[in-house]
Amino acid sequence: MDSVSIIGMISVITAGLTIAIGSIGPALAEGRAVAQALSAIAQQPDESATITRTLFVGLAMIESTAIYCFVVTMILIFANPFWDHAIAAAGG
């Protein structure tokens, strides 16, 4: 296999692993956050506006972890710097 195929193969495998592992943590965290917020609303329905707002902000914070993984995946597949370098070095 030439270097471009190896770089392509490793990029795709790493991209899949990144998004797979990187979505586990945020998924668990979001589930826990929503469960806690629901039980908090069940105990104190009057405070549901504040709890919901805080929940959304917290979810956005957690979600950004998954988004970082997604951005890294997109860079690996569509904008891989090693890929460009290898193609340029091969004179392609």
Partner 1 sequence: MTISPDSVVYFQWGIFSLNATLVFTWVVMAILTLTSWLVTRRISDNPDISRWQNLLEVLVTGIRDQIAQVSHQQPGNYLPFVGTLFLFIAMANLLNVVPGYLAPTGSLSTTTALAICVFIAVPVFGIASKGAGSYLGRYLQPTWFMLPFNIIGEISRTVALAVRLYGNIMSGTVIVGILLSLTPYFFPVVMQLLGLLTGMIQAYIFAVLAMVYIASATSVYEKAEDPDQADTLSSDQ
Binding range to partner 1, per CB under 8 A, among 5-13, 32-40, 68-76, 80-88: 68-76
What would the two tokens of residue 60 be? 């956005």
Within residues 26-55, the interface with partner 1 by CB under 8 A covers: 49-50, 53
What would the two tokens of residue 82 be? 């090693």
Question: Which of left, alpha, beta for 34 (phi over 0: left; psi -120 to 50: alpha)?
Answer: alpha
Burial class (CB in 10 A: 0-12, 13-18, 19+), 72: middle
42 or 49, CB closer to partner 1? 49
> Is residue 60 involved in binding partner 1 (CB under 8 A)?
yes
* Residues making contact with partner 1 (CB under 8 A): 49-50, 53, 56-57, 60, 63-64, 67-68, 70-71, 74, 78-79
